[in-house]
């Protein structure tokens, strides 16, 4: 079993912001594989289903970004999975807009949601799918930037990246992370 968690902030005021690309991608996975995200459990909206023969739990934590680890820890404990079977999808200001980067482990970088998850799980050893949103313009506050909506010209670029991330997650589940990295990183 795998837990696939997209990071974001709950509430309509955040739905189309840069910080919610993890939620956007999990919603795409939900539609692609016909997994209903209709339950609230463990401080998250969840849906259970299968992808490529693997049992999965799709997750959108509802704790706000900085406390994402609280929900993820509850889920990992309840479903009794090893952190290596947790896939976290999130936005990354250190990658150019539209870049997808899959990794088997790593640090949180500047991402507070990932910091929270690593702190709660006490490990960095779980796969992640990073979606590049690009750096903030010079002089713009990082928090304001990540909580702002994408520009009209950026929307098709990020949606295409999210679609590639969906395929990357499917490949992680069916062929392994090395295959997914070689096909989708770049």
pLDDT tens per residue across span 109-156: 889 999 999 999 999 999 999 999 999 999 889 889 999 999 999 999
Q: Which domain holds residue 160?
A: 2-184
Is 19 marked active-site? yes
Report residue 12 as tokens. Answer: 């309509």
Which among 3, 4, 19, 23 is annotated as catalytic?
19
Burial class (CB in 10 A: 0-12, 13-18, 19+), 62: middle
CATH number at residue 133: 3.40.50.1470
Domain count, the chain: 1
- pLDDT by residue (tens digit) across 17-68? 999 999 999 999 999 999 999 999 999 999 999 999 999 999 999 999 999 9
Burial class (CB in 10 A: 0-12, 13-18, 19+), 82: exposed
| CA separation for the pair 137, 160 (Å, rounded) | 22
Report pLDDT for 96. 95
């Amino acid at each position: 079993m795998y837990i696939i968690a997209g990071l974001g902030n709950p509430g309509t005021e955040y739905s189309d912001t840069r910080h919610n690309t993890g939620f956007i991608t999990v919603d795409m996975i939900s539609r692609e594989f016909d997994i209903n995200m209709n339950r609230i459990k463990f401080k998250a909206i969840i849906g259970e289903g299968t992808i490529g023969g693997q049992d999965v739990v799709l997750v959108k934590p509802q704790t706000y970004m900085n406390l994402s680890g609280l929900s993820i820890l509850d889920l990992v404990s309840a479903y009794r999975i090893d952190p290596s079977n947790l896939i976290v999808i999130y936005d990354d200001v250190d990658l150019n807009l539209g870049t997808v980067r899959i990794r088997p482990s790593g640090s949180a970088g500047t991402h507070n949601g990932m910091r929270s998850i690593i702190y709660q799980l006490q490990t960095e050893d779980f796969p992640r799918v990073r979606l590049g949103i690009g750096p903030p313009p010079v002089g713009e506050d990082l928090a304001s930037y990540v909580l702002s909506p994408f520009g009209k010209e950026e929307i098709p670029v990020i949606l295409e990246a999210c679609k590639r991330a969906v395929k990357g997650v499917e490949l992680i589940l069916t062929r392994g992370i090395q295959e997914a990295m070689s096909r989708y990183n770049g």
